[in-house]
Amino acid sequence: MDRQYISRLNSTYAVASFRLAWLCAAAVCSAPLHCAEAGIAPPALERRAALTGMVRQDCGSCHGMTLKGGLGPALTPAALTDRPAESLVVTILSGRPGTAMPPWRNFLSADEAAWIVDQLQRGVLDEK
């Protein structure tokens, strides 16, 4: 059952997203300096829009659409700025066992998760 599920996900989502990310590896970043400093390969423009939608809606179903918290804690700059980005990336990709935070690695690459953390810490995604 699990394997079947994963393979279904792979065919629909992961493959598409990986392909997109790969194709667009050379894309420009919205804040080039910041991204370069952080060593993140920023996702392409269309993918960024998809990720922004995903964060607001699908992460939002637990963290609130405006990311001020819900079943999961707030993901606002005030909550996240002082937190090490790497560990937040790990949380997003692997989830937190024993809590309601699920792993997202079937839907997000490491670079995409890093981009999301960067956006969250700077408060870019929670603006309506």
Partner 1 sequence: MKNELGRVINAIVLCLGCLGCLGPGLPAARAEVGVVVERASGSVQLVDNDTRAALARITGLGDLSHASLVYSKDARHVFVFGRDGGLSKIDLLARKTVKRTLQAGNSIGGAISRDGRLVAVANYEPGGVKIFDAETLEQLAEIPSTYGSEGKRSKVVGIADASGSRFVFSLFDADEIWVADLSEPRAPRVRKFRNIGRQPYDALITQDGRHYIAGLFGEDGLALLDMNNLDGGVRRILGGYGQGEEKLPVYKMPHLRGWAMAGDLAFLPAIGRHEVLVVDRRDWRAVATIPVHGQPVFVMARPDGRQVWVNYAFPLNDTVEVIDVAALKLVKSLKPGKTVLHMEFTAPGDEVWISARDDNKLVVYDTKSFARLAEFPADSPSGIFFAWRARIMGL
Tell me which residues in 49-78 interact with partner 1 (CB under 8 A): 53, 57-58, 60-62, 64-66, 68-71
Asked if 1 touches partner 1 (CB under 8 A), the answer is yes
Asked if 61 touches ligand HEC (CB under 6 A), the answer is yes
Site residue total, ligand HEC (CB under 6 A): 21
Using CB atoms within 10 A of its CB, is residue 49 exposed (0-12), middle (13-18) or buried (19+)? Answer: exposed
Tell me which residues in 11-50 interact with partner 1 (CB under 8 A): 12-13
One-letter-per-residue 3-state SS of 5-74: HHHHHHHHHHHHHHHHHHHCCCCCCCCHHHHHHHCCCCCCHHHHHHHHHHHHHHHHHHHCCCCCCCCCCC
Tell me which residues in 88-127 interact with ligand HEC (CB under 6 A): 88, 91-92, 96, 99-102, 104, 116
Whether 108 contacts 93, CB under 8 Å: yes
Contact residues for ligand HEC (CB under 6 A)? 55, 58-59, 61-63, 71-73, 75, 79, 88, 91-92, 96, 99-102, 104, 116
